[in-house]
Structure formats: structure tokens, C-alpha cells
């Protein structure tokens, strides 16, 4: 009887542990989806085509974060980045900067074209 109680307790603990993804995994997923909003212009994974606008992949995290904060504050001249930077909290900008800093700079991999 006693061992059943213990087993039930363990199962409950395991279920509770399995229900929530670890915090770091959630952060990583969130960082990727936030960073993906930049891919349209800065290239897939931040590797820009022809360097315009500049690649973000493999750049220094602190430098990227500072640049974004300067765009947000309007301190750095921009055409479009002021609006972009203002759409994110400082915590989100830190996740985005960390994501791009962790991407290896490299050749642009074109999206696969199917059918023909
Ligand atoms: C609509 C296109 C577009 C999107 C989307 C976009 N950017 Fe930009 N980005 C630009 C352009 C254009 C510039 C050049 C500055 C300007 O004119 O605003 C730039 C400049 C930058 C720079 C300065 C690079 C340098 O070396 O001078 C950084 C950093 C940057 N963007 C980060 C981001 C991040 C992070 C995101 C996603 C949250 C993002 N951008 C989304 C178009 C875009």
C-alpha cells in the first residue's frame, strides 16, 4: 500500500516536470521566432543577400543590442529601423541580439524551390 502511494507521487512529479519545457528551451524558441521577423530584410538567419541591409549573423551581442536601443531611442539615423526597434521590449531585443550573435556567419542558403 505504502509503495503505491510513493509510485503515484512519483508519477505526478514526472508529469509535472514534463508539462513545462525548461526555461532555457522556451527562451531559445522565443528568441528564434522574434529573430525570424528580421529575416525578411536581413536575410535568412540574418545572413543578408549582398550585404544590404547588413548581415546580423555572428555579430557581437552587445553591439547589436546597443544599435537596436539607439534605433529605439532615435539616436541612430535610420529609414525603417526606428519603427522596428520600437516594436520590441528591451528584454526581447536582448533575446534577438543573443540569437544573431549565436548564428555562424555564412553563405546565404536559398530557399528550396520545388516543382520544376
Ligand atoms: C523592412 C526591412 C527590415 C526589417 C524587417 C528589419 N530591418 Fe534592420 N535594417 C533595415 C535597413 C534598411 C537598415 C539600414 C538602416 C535604415 O535605413 O533603417 C537596417 C539596419 C539594421 C541594423 C544596423 C546594421 C549596421 O551594421 O549598421 C541592425 C543591427 C538591424 N537593422 C537589426 C534588425 C533587427 C534585429 C531586426 C528584427 C527585429 C530588423 N533589423 C528588421 C531593414 C530592416
- Write out pLDDT tens, residues 13-55: 545 555 567 777 888 899 999 999 999 999 999 999 888 899 9
Distance between Cα 77 and ligand 1 center (Å): 11
The finding on whether 87 has its CB within 6 A of some atom of ligand 1 is: no
Other C-beta atoms within 10 Å of 49: how many? Answer: 12
Q: What phi and psi values does residue 82 have, to the nearest 5 degrees?
A: -60, -50
Kindly tell me if the per-residue pLDDT of 113 is higher than 90: no
Tell me if 28 CB under 6 Å of ligand 1. no
Average pLDDT value over all residues in the chain: 84
Among 31, 35, 38, residue to substitute to test ligand 1 (most atoms within 8 Å of Cβ): 38
- Joined grid coordinates for residue 40: 525578411
Where residue 110 falls (left for φ over 0; alpha for ψ -120 to 50; beta otherwise) is beta
Q: Which domains does the chain have, with CATH numbers?
A: 23-101 (1.10.760.10)
Cα distances (angstroms) measured from residue 16 to each of 13, 20, 55: 5, 7, 41
Would the CB of 56 count as within 6 Å of ligand 1? yes
Tell whether pTM > 0.85. Answer: no
Ramachandran angles phi, psi of 91, nearest 5°: -65, -40
Amino acid at each position: 500500500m505504502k509503495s503505491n502511494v510513493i509510485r503515484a507521487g512519483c508519477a505526478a512529479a514526472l508529469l509535472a516536470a514534463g508539462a513545462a519545457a525548461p526555461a532555457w528551451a522556451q527562451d531559445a524558441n522565443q528568441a528564434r521566432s522574434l529573430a525570424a521577423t528580421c529575416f525578411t530584410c536581413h536575410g535568412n538567419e540574418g545572413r543578408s543577400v549582398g550585404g544590404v541591409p547588413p548581415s546580423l549573423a555572428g555579430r557581437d551581442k552587445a553591439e547589436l543590442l546597443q544599435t537596436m536601443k539607439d534605433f529605439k531611442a532615435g539616436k541612430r539615423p535610420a529609414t525603417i529601423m526606428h519603427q522596428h526597434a520600437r516594436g520590441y521590449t528591451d528584454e526581447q531585443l536582448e533575446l534577438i541580439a543573443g540569437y544573431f550573435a549565436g548564428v555562424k556567419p555564412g553563405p546565404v542558403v536559398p530557399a528550396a524551390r520545388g516543382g520544376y
